[in-house]
Amino acid sequence: MSRPRTRAPGTRTPAALAVPALLAIAFLLLPLIGILARTQWHQLGSHLTDPEVTEALRLSLLVSFCALGLSLVLGVPLAWLLARVRFPGKALVRSLVLLPMVLPPTVGGVALLLGFGRRGLLGPWLENDLGIVLPFHTSGAVVAATFVAMPFLIISLEGTLAGLRPSYEETAASLGASPARVFFTVTLPLVAPGLAAGAALTWARALGEFGATITFAGNLSGTTQTLPLDVYLLLQEQPEAATSVSLLLLAVATAVLVALRGRWTGATAARRVNANDRRADENGKLTEDATDAPVATAAEPPAPQQQSSLHAEVTGFNDITLDAPAGTTVAVVGPNGAGKTTLLRALLGLTPRAHAQLHLGGTDVTNLPPHRRGVAWVPQDGALFPHLTALANTAYGLRTQGVSRAEARRTAQDWLDRLGVGHLARRKPSQLSGGQAQRIALARALAARPRLLLLDEPLAALDQTTRAQVRHTLRTHLQGFGGVCLLVTHDPVEAISLGDRVLVLVDGRTLQYDTPGEVSRHPRSPWVARMLGRNAWPGTASSDATLSLTGGGTLVVADPPAEGTDALAIITPEAVSLHRERPAGSPRNNWPGTVREITAAGSRLRVVIASDEVPDLVAEITPQAAGDLQLADGTAVWTSVKATEITVVTP
Ligand SMILES: Nc1ncnc2c1ncn2[C@@H]1O[C@H](COP(=O)(O)OP(=O)(O)OP(=O)(O)O)[C@@H](O)[C@H]1O
């Protein structure tokens, strides 16, 4: 039984729009139907095989393909400049590129005559010094066709290039690829659909060119008389033959448009790449593929990597000196905008905003370009090359180092196996979940045998379960990594569990650089303390072993600093006791307050208490204690903290 078709409410086309829209379609269609209706089908063969027509067709193909070649040679670099380089007058150059598209072609022809004609600006030099005469020569027809058709290639390719995220090319460079290699192995394949669409349109436009050609190059049979010019002549003498040739041109134009299906701005190519990214992002929210193989690291330790220490002096937005022995993982943390990503990009040599004097294993790599530094980068989204399989992605760095294809693939497969994603070797990035893509991006970076590994929030896109799995994988592999790894994270668990040292950045500077234990015991700012889940109250030491808190109130501490010293009081949430009545015992830090929020934290509950006497305080208690105290939002409670449980940190 078929279900009645329902129409979504509000999708009815208003008649006021439908009528003119239909008229527009009819207006465009009618002339084309006219050609079809008036074509003498029985004479079509003889018309199209007429020597004059075949000669014009040969010339049209020659001229249009030469115009396409010239457009590629000149237009690709110009599109690249427009998309990638900042230069004064760029808007003007872009308008200049578009001008031939809006100019009447005959005006274009006149302009070409005045520029390149025998009496034009450049004509005498072309003729006398180079022996080139363009008018009334096939080369003139090529120039005219290029003039009107090249803009299609440039705007199409510029749109595609501008839509391409730079992280693909930057990652390729960090894997050791020279700029030329990056262009041919990453940029070109990714912009290929936009380039092909632009090239097809350029060719079709050159094939149909009439006005500029007849004005500039003339109408000489066998030399400049292309098919459109032939149609114009035939129309006066043999209208039926003109109709047949028009049909041929119409068929060619239609075939090109059908093949392109609206890709003329190149936006589709960029959209496709971005859609892949989006799909990967969406997948990132899913848990790992149930078919994921277990991580093979336990049985098979990673191959030893080259040992390399780090010494960096970064200036500019960042002002940091960083030293780390070989094999160290440094967790880089800090508030938004602290300069974490800028630090990584400075070490890669990819930003003008900060400059790094960089020594890796005693070698000064400061003046080396990004692809020769031995610094591998895994950006937040992994930036796996969308046109390559997981295996080819992983082999990429080895190939740039000259390793043979077979050897690189063998090693890449080995790395994928170690990271538990060997079975995904043949998949493209769009067919991977976020967690799988992260593992492959890590395998790709490690396979390139870098001296410094930069991971920018490697687990950010993953859900909690996947995050725990990938964190375990990451820890195992970082243990076997002989170089230094800098890992940017916003997650305290990641910082503490993965970092041998924690670097805390604030405003581009080092606030703290210490072991996780020391940072966790003595956080140097309220931000670090809160990131680690601690209460942190800034204040000033008074004479009576108390701190006067900046947010109001006083706090009795066991180990007070000298009077007048600014200090930070750190209270772990576990050290905060909650009571329904005022406690009678020893703690002198007792405050009345109200429960503002209760949230789960693992198997315990975090309770935020608001008080008029001191700043907000977080307590961590068991669900059973919360039940005994009958806690709920708005419940009145007393909080108490022993002076001996408070750590006082002085700057
Ligand atoms: N290309 C840029 N041009 C100008 N300013 C920039 C540029 N990139 C970043 N910034 C600024 O530099 C500062 C540091 O940025 P950065 O991305 O390094 O911070 P972050 O610590 O990585 O931040 P987040 O945690 O939000 O990722 C910020 O104030 C940011 O606005």
Question: Among the atoms of ligand 1, which is closest to the Cα of residue 345?
Answer: 18
**Contacts for 413 with CB less than 8 Å, ≥ 6 apart:** 391, 394, 422, 425
Q: Are 516 and 495 contacting, i.e. CB atoms less than 8 angstroms apart?
A: yes
pLDDT at 467 over 80: no
The one-letter code for the residue type at 597 is: E
Query: 201: which 2 tokens?
Result: 């349109």
Query: What's the per-residue H, E or C state across 594-645?
Result: EEEEEEEECCEEEEEEECCCCCCEEEEECHHHHHHCCCCCCCEEEEEECHHH
The span from the CA of 346 to the CA of 358, in Å, is 9
The span from the CA of 575 to the CA of 531, in Å, is 17
What was the pLDDT predicted at 277? 42
**Distance from Cα 342 to the centre of ligand 1, integer Å:** 6
Q: Is the CB of 499 under 6 A from ligand 1?
A: no
Query: 153: which 2 tokens?
Result: 């290639």
Question: Among the atoms of ligand 1, which is closest to the Cα of residue 488?
Answer: 22
Q: Rounded mean pLDDT of 133-156? A: 91
For 28-273, CATH number out of 1.20.58.760, 1.10.3720.10, 3.80.10.10, 3.60.15.10 equals 1.10.3720.10
Q: Rounded mean pLDDT of 565-584? A: 88
pLDDT at 149 over 50: yes
The span from the CA of 483 to the CA of 19, in Å, is 70
pLDDT at 570 over 50: yes
Q: Report the topology of domain 533-649.
A: OB fold (Dihydrolipoamide Acetyltransferase, E2P) (2.40.50)
**Distance from Cα 353 to the centre of ligand 1, integer Å:** 10
- pLDDT, the chain, mean: 84
What was the pLDDT predicted at 455? 93
What was the pLDDT predicted at 271? 45
Q: Is the CB of 379 under 6 A from ligand 1?
A: no
Q: Rounded mean pLDDT of 291-320? A: 65
Query: 414: which 2 tokens?
Result: 């080995």
Q: Is residue 321 very low, low, confident or very high in pLDDT (cuts 50, 70, 90)?
A: very high
Q: How many CB atoms lie within 10 A of CB 294?
A: 9
What was the pLDDT predicted at 295? 40
Q: Is the CB of 400 under 6 A from ligand 1?
A: no
ipTM: 0.94
Sequence ranges of the domains in the chain: 28-273, 310-513, 533-649
Query: What CATH number is given for 310-513 in this structure?
Result: 3.40.50.300
What was the pLDDT predicted at 343? 93
Query: 467: which 2 tokens?
Result: 């995050």
Pocket test for ligand 1, best of 167, 314, 317, 348 (most atoms within 8 A of CB): 317
pLDDT at 142 over 80: yes
Closest residue (by CA) to atom 30 of ligand 1? Answer: 337
In the chain, the N- to C-terminal Cα span, in Å, equals 78
Q: Are 409 and 395 contacting, i.e. CB atoms less than 8 angstroms apart?
A: yes
Q: Rounded mean pLDDT of 398-410? A: 93
Pocket test for ligand 1, best of 342, 351, 487, 531 (most atoms within 8 A of CB): 342
Q: Are 566 and 554 contacting, i.e. CB atoms less than 8 angstroms apart?
A: no
Q: Rounded mean pLDDT of 206-223? A: 87
pLDDT at 282 over 70: no
Query: 217: which 2 tokens?
Result: 């190059």
The DSSP element (H or E) to which 649 belongs, if any, is strand 646-649
What was the pLDDT predicted at 25? 93
What was the pLDDT predicted at 651? 64
Question: Among the atoms of ligand 1, which is closest to the Cα of residue 457?
Answer: 27
What was the pLDDT predicted at 648? 85
